[in-house]
Amino acid sequence: MKWLGAAIFLGLVLLILVLVLAPTSSSPLTAQDRLSAEHELRKILDAADYIVSVYSADEIVQEVQTGFVVDPQGYVITAAHGRFRNGKRTEVVLKNGTHYLARLVGEIQTLDIALLFIELPKSASALPVFANPASYITKRGYGFSQEAIPNRRNLIVGVQCTSSDFSLELNRMYFGELQMWYDKEPVLSFTQMKQNMSGCSGAPALTLSGTVIGMVRASAGDVVFTVDATAVKEAATLLIERDLKTK
């Protein structure tokens, strides 16, 4: 019986050690884990043909940013920034280099979202899948905690951006991590270095699952502010419905 008691005691000690020493969801990713995640995200971003370049210009100002196709009829979401009013010529450029003249469908100014329309061919690529905020937060706008995420790799995000030299190529990728989640605004942190996010406005932020977690709206240093996927999807649906009623 003494041996049995000792064995049980030893087993309990080992179990406690395993629970204490086992890696938790709050453990930071190793450098190798992060590099592996970024490598996977590069492939996902490269394959996301729905990401497009957006160019707008008038007689004085030329501007470039990024966007993404959200409807097979040819509707494109991007950041508004007040850039598409006053008769500016706007073009959308696909990854294959095809240029399309775009028209402004409408804006949701409170979210800084603009919806454009292009005559997209029916053979266009697959559309984005939007992430569910419930996967990251327990209550909309509250309760987000990195420690609550089962796998910290799920916090890694990437964006693909239009070049800032007006070549209209999607040749820049940045990788960061979801840090916090305000109401309708996931905040990303590109902690490894300060990023030049020029040309990234309107870009979708993708996770390792290939889902869109939000749309880039602004950046400050190494912090990027986005509009969350649900708000983007709802805004797109509303503006598309309004547009179809006028046709």
Q: How far is CA 57 from CA 54, 79, 89, 97, 141, in A?
A: 10, 15, 5, 19, 36
Q: How far apart are CA 78 and CA 68, in angstroms?
A: 7
Per DSSP, which regions of the chain are E strands? 51-57, 62-71, 75-79, 89-93, 99-108, 113-117, 129-130, 156-161, 172-182, 185-189, 204-207, 211-220, 223-228
Q: How far apart are CA 135 and CA 113, in angstroms?
A: 23
Indicate the pTM of the whole model.
0.83
Residue 103: CB atoms within 10 A of its CB come to 12
Q: How far apart are CA 99 and CA 40, in angstroms?
A: 29
126-142, pLDDT tens digit by residue? Answer: 789 998 777 776 554 45
Q: Which domains does the chain have, with CATH numbers?
A: 51-126 (2.40.10.10), 128-233 (2.40.10.10)
Contact by Cβ (8 Å): 171, 42: no
Average pLDDT over residues 206-233: 91
Between strands 51-57 and 89-93, the pairing is antiparallel
In which band, very low, low, confident or very high, does the pLDDT at 8 lie, cut at 50, 70 and 90? very low
Average pLDDT over residues 181-185: 76
User: What is the residue-averaged pLDDT of the chain?
Assistant: 82
